[in-house]
Amino acid sequence: MQVLFKIVRQSQNTGPRIQTYQLDVEPGNTILDCLNRIKWEQDGTLAFRKNCRNTICGSCSMRINGRSALACKENIGAEIARLNQISEQSTETESVSRDREKTENSALNALPGAPPRATAPGAIPEITIAPMGNMPVVKDLVVDMQRFWNNLEAVDPYVSNSARKIPEREFLQTPEERSRLEESGNCILCGACYSECNAVEVNPNFVGPHALAKAYRMVEDDRDDQTESRLQNYNQANSGVWSCTRCFYCNSVCPMGVEPLDKIGKIKDEILERSDDQASRSIRHRKVLIDLVKKGGWVDERKFAVMVVGNFFRDIKGLLSLGPVGFQSIKRGKMPLTFEASEGTKEVRSLIEAVQELESKSSKAPKK
């Protein structure tokens, strides 16, 4: 089958441009196979990273049709099928919207047809390949990952056993202890999660999901003796776990199933367990949110900002900062004067209490 590869090319001194290459490929060929053929047969100047070709090293991570993935893992047939599925879902959504428009406006006797499929019958499929995001481009699909590695180093991703002082023997673990480290230990540092991270895009100080997934491994590892100092480091407002926007992109693109977002959430749980609502605004935000939902089934907007930003009327500067927003909300009728608890408040409260009880038992249980 014929496939068009639209590759975003650039160097440090030029802007991006798209160059198109056409190949005769098999559905089972990987994207990396095709890039190799383009380089060997058509254009030796094309630059990209590769190494193992077996989903182990993480070198060939790049954006394939808008999402970060490993070129050695994605194949042509699966990628074209994915594009067609996305196109079909978009068509269905647009069709529903058009039906609604037709019902509301009977004057519209005819509506334009659905958008073409990603691969229209008879058309040559197209696959767009671009460099990873959130990192400067060196050349073509090669990016500068220095900040990626610096952020990883910032979480000190190494097991510390200095307190034990037993260098003559290894520190053995049971299968159960080792199993708790499997997901985070599977990270191959390909950079896909970092490339798609919305928080990194707007906050250059955020260490990124890859670093915090590795950080959780250190927190969970019973051989490490620096848990408390680690949690203080990961609790930093601008660089640590509270900068995560929970967009879920890191989980969706991870080729190894590490689920960085879940690991960030577990670090947050460890921090919250050790802190009260006066520790920081980020911690207060989480605790106040849970308390208000527990009391009323949903958030009482009249109290939330005052309790979090104003710190229960303790933070005068914080209260003053709420003035402009509060005034505009009242002026536009967006500030509720009363609060009505939700009908399911008792059920919500019982669920929260049940989860809190389970978490309490889990935290008190000794690690084997």
Contact assessment for residue 130 and residue 5, using Cβ atoms and an 8 Å cutoff: no
- Please enumerate, as own/partner, the contacts of 198-204 that have beta carbons within 8 Å and a separation of 24 or more: 198/245, 198/247, 198/249, 199/243, 199/244, 199/245, 199/247, 200/134, 201/133, 201/134, 203/238, 203/243, 204/147
The domain in which residue 77 lies consists of 1-142
* Average pLDDT, integer, range 126-145: 97
Q: Is the pLDDT of residue 288 over 90?
A: yes
Choice between 123 and 102, residue whose per-residue pLDDT is larger: 123
Question: Each residue of 295-309: pLDDT tens digit?
Answer: 999 999 889 989 999
Q: Are 207 and 151 in contact (CB under 8 A)?
A: yes
Say whether both 24 and 81 belong to one domain.
yes
Sorting pLDDT into bands at 50, 70 and 90, what band is 361? confident
Q: Do 214 and 235 fall within a single domain?
A: yes
Domain end position, chosen among 105, 121, 142? 142
Task: State the average pLDDT over residues 307-332.
Answer: 89
Confidence of residue 359 (pLDDT cuts 50, 70, 90): confident
159 and 121 together in one domain: no
Same domain? For 158 and 257 the reply is: yes
pLDDT band at 26 (very low <50, low <70, confident <90, very high): very high
| Statement to judge: residues 129 and 21 lie in one domain | yes
Domain identity same for 124 and 169: no
Domain end point (choices 273, 295, 325): 273
**Do residues 178 and 231 share a domain?**
yes
One domain, residues 134 and 2? yes
Q: Are residues 152 and 126 in the same domain?
A: no
Looking at residue 89, its pLDDT comes to 82
pLDDT score recorded for residue 237: 83
The CA distances from residue 119 to 71, 95, 124, 137, 286, in Å, are 20, 19, 7, 30, 46
Interstrand relation of 17-24 and 67-70 (parallel, antiparallel or unpaired): unpaired
Tokens at 356, concatenated: 């809190």
Q: Inform me whether the pLDDT recorded for 326 exceeds 90.
A: no
Tokens 């990961």 belong to residue: 234
Residues 163 and 292 in one domain: no
Question: Is there a contact between 286 and 344 (Cβ–Cβ < 8 Å)?
Answer: no
At residue 80, what are phi and psi to the nearest 5 degrees? -65, -40
C-alpha to C-alpha distances, 208 to 30, 230, 246, 340, 360, nearest whole angstrom: 28, 16, 12, 39, 29
| Confidence check: pLDDT of 158 > 60 | yes
142, 164, 183 - which closes a domain:
142
Q: Two tokens at 7?
A: 């590759």
pLDDT band at 164 (very low <50, low <70, confident <90, very high): low
pLDDT value for 102: 46
Confidence of residue 165 (pLDDT cuts 50, 70, 90): low
- Same-domain check for residues 104 and 11: yes
**pLDDT given for residue 101 in this prediction:** 52
Q: Is the pLDDT of residue 194 over 90?
A: yes
CATH code for the domain in which residue 264 is found: 1.10.1060.10
Dihedral pair phi/psi, residue 241, rounded to 5° = -65, -25
**Res. 104 pLDDT band, cuts 50 70 90:** very low
Which pLDDT does position 59 carry in this prediction?
Answer: 97
Q: What is the pLDDT of residues 207-255, one digit of tens each?
A: 999 999 999 999 999 888 899 999 999 998 889 999 999 999 999 999 9
Residue 10 belongs to a domain with what CATH number? 3.10.20.30
Residue 56 predicted with pLDDT over 90: yes
- Give the residue with greater pLDDT, 213 vs 94: 213
Q: What is the pLDDT of residue 114?
A: 34
- Averaged pLDDT score across all residues of the chain: 87
What is the per-residue pLDDT for 121?
A: 60
Q: Do 125 and 56 belong to one domain? A: yes
Alpha helix stretches (DSSP H) within 275-344: 281-296, 301-308, 316-321, 323-331
Looking at the structure of the chain, the number of domains it has is 3
